[in-house]
Chain A
Amino acid sequence: MKLAVWGALARGVVLESIRRKDLWVVAILGFVIMLSAGALGFFGAQGLQVFVKDLAVTVLGLFSTIVAILTTCRLMPEEVKNRTLYPLLSRPIDRFDLLFGKLIGAVLVSWIAFLALAALTSIALLNFGVRFDLLMAQYVLGKMMGLVVVCAVSFTLSLFMTPSAAATLSVILAFGSTMIVRGLVMGYEQASPAIQPLFKFLNAILPQYGLFDLGGRTANIDWGPVPAWVLGALLAYMVTYSGAMLAIGWAKFRKQAI
């Protein structure tokens, strides 16, 4: 029963995204990728395979994250603004189902966008003679799990603030959290023992997007596939962190006067 509700809500998000021509953005970005690849081809890609792969994973990560954030941040605020939330809540679904169904929809849109971009990038890479291996499949899997966390964080933030503010904060977290974590790691040894627990706390609450990015291994040569336990740990982290985000969002939304 619940599955049918979540499925219907998620389907609505995907259809709405298609109706709003959001995925056209993906098509345009894909066109940019192909154009850039063509330009590199013009200069001659002999010996540039590592660079081309590095560029591809960087662009993929950048574009798919932006699409995920922009799609997710406006979902709930628009439902409220357009007053379409009332007919939804008048049906026999509770508020948690609504949030969960919408989040699944946002994740699906992000995955569709990412996979479409990945397919276009693969064509460009094939053109440069890049060979595909198991590590690349793991990269795609890791990125898809990372996008779930990006969507969960953006979705929760959008329940607490305006869509613009949520999008801005999400972008800062998405592209800055790795840098902040590295700063914490570097500064930990030099920090006084009294401050060190704060470092650990900040590290624990920050979304660890960097863990899901296998781009560095994928782009360079002779790196083997990641062990299965690592993918399992990433899956567990994705479920835990996204669940926590959803719980925080639900705690806010369930008592929110509409």
Chain B
Amino acid sequence: MKQVGLIVSGTCGLAIATGWTATGWQTTLATTGQPAGLDAHESHASASLLGQFRTTFSGWLWLRTDLYLHNGVEMRRLTEQEVAGDHRGSSSIDNHDHALHDDSLITTVIPSAEQDFRGIFGDIERATSAYKDMTQHTHNDPVSALPLFRLMTWVDPSFLPGWTTGAAIIARDRSDRSLEKALGLLREGLAKNPRSIALDGEIGYLLAARRRDFRQAVHHLDRARIQSLERAALSDDEFEALPQIYRWLSLSYRERGMLAEMYAVLREGVERFPEDAVLQRLLESPPTPLLDSAGVDPPARR
């Protein structure tokens, strides 16, 4: 009886001591900043149950879109062992959905008969499921998935890939009407996500590359660049979009004859992305007929 009392008091004492010192562990357990793998969109939604539902639903729709582009054939990423074992992904001949995944790194969830140990079970599954050999496969027209992108952005306006990929699909049609529609969608997204680097970058790219409105392009691209410098942390998607933003911003400055700004942007870009060969090349030998007339020294001589 005495031993039981000792065990109970010892356990309670340990629990109290643990609780007392818990604040000291905070820095160890709760890391500052955003956890890896979570982007702004997810942290946005975590504030409320509705937000969580919206995030989950838009993420689910995103995956379904990929599925519909493959006409229901479920695909998965190759495992590290498969990549190391020289397993070839189901590369495509058009890769319409490059925004969703890299076709060389995916394969069908249901394996081919040669790679399936299940015998007749495998044969039946290949017959009853949406399965076909996806080597050098094609995709359904991504335009058919546009309503889903619209639905994604209705449900969760903070889901940035919904806006950017949807606009990219609309802009694939080279007509002016499609360009205006894509820009309209992106601007709607920007109104709902005014601090989005990806949306500003995408608008800037379309304005520069398609409409050749370099003044407006510089406005959006430079705002994206400044936002990226001000932010403490960037999501993976935003970080990957930045070199492109620097490239198009420098080209837009070049087209407007603002070579000093162009070199400044290129130097900053190379400093932030030293591995980016395009930025490096643009800085070292800017392909511009304006160079001589502007009277600006190339960077190597500065």
Contact = CB atoms under 8 A, between A and B. Distances in A.
Given A185-B116, A185-B117, A233-B124, A222 B71 contact: yes
A216 B71 CA distance: 9
A45 B150 CA distance: 11
Contact of A188 (B117, B121, B140, B147): B117
Contacts of B117: 185, 188, 196, 199-200, 203
B302 interface: no
A19 to B, nearest CB: 37
Interface stretch (A71-79, A92-100, A118-126, A206-214): A206-214
B125 A210 contact: yes
A55 to B, nearest CB: 9
Contacts of B109: 182
Interface in B109-162: 109-111, 115-118, 120-122, 124-125, 127-130, 140, 144, 146-148, 151, 154
Interface string B52-77: 00000000000010001001101000
Contacts of A190: 79, 81
A221 interface: yes
Could you tell me the dominant secondary structure of chain A's interface residues? helix
Given A51-B64, A54-B64, A230 B111 contact: no
Q: Which of B81, B128, B148 has the most CB of A within 10 A?
A: B128
Could you tell me the dominant secondary structure of chain B's interface residues? helix
B118 A217 contact: no
A178 B115 CA distance: 18
Contacts of A133: none
Interface string A41-81: 00111111011001000000000000000000000000000
A105 interface: no
B128 A43 contact: no
Given A54-B64, A217-B128, A220-B68, A233 B147 contact: no
Given A186-B79, A220-B71, A230 B118 contact: no
Contacts of B118: 181, 185, 203
A150 B183 CA distance: 51
Contacts of A223: 71-72, 130
A6 to B, nearest CB: 29
Interface size class of A (residues with CB under 8 A): 35 or more
A142 interface: yes
Contacts of B148: 48, 51
A221 B151 contact: no
A44 to B, nearest CB: 8
A233 B64 contact: no
A44 B148 CA distance: 11
A221 B71 contact: yes
A214 B128 contact: yes
A142 B124 CA distance: 12
A196 B118 CA distance: 12
A23 B170 CA distance: 46
Given A46-B147, A48-B151, A54-B64, A208 B130 contact: no
B136 to A, nearest CB: 18
Interface string A233-252: 11001000000000000000
B127 A230 contact: yes
Contacts of A219: 72
B111 A185 contact: yes
Interface of B: 64, 68, 71-72, 74, 79, 81, 109-111, 115-118, 120-122, 124-125, 127-130, 140, 144, 146-148, 151, 154
- What 10 A-B pairs are tightest by C-beta distance, nearest first? A220-B72, A216-B130, A47-B147, A230-B127, A216-B72, A48-B147, A220-B71, A217-B130, A188-B117, A211-B124
17 contacts: A50-B144, A51-B147, A51-B148, A182-B110, A185-B111, A185-B116, A185-B118, A185-B122, A188-B117, A208-B121, A210-B129, A212-B128, A217-B128, A220-B68, A221-B140, A226-B128, A233-B124
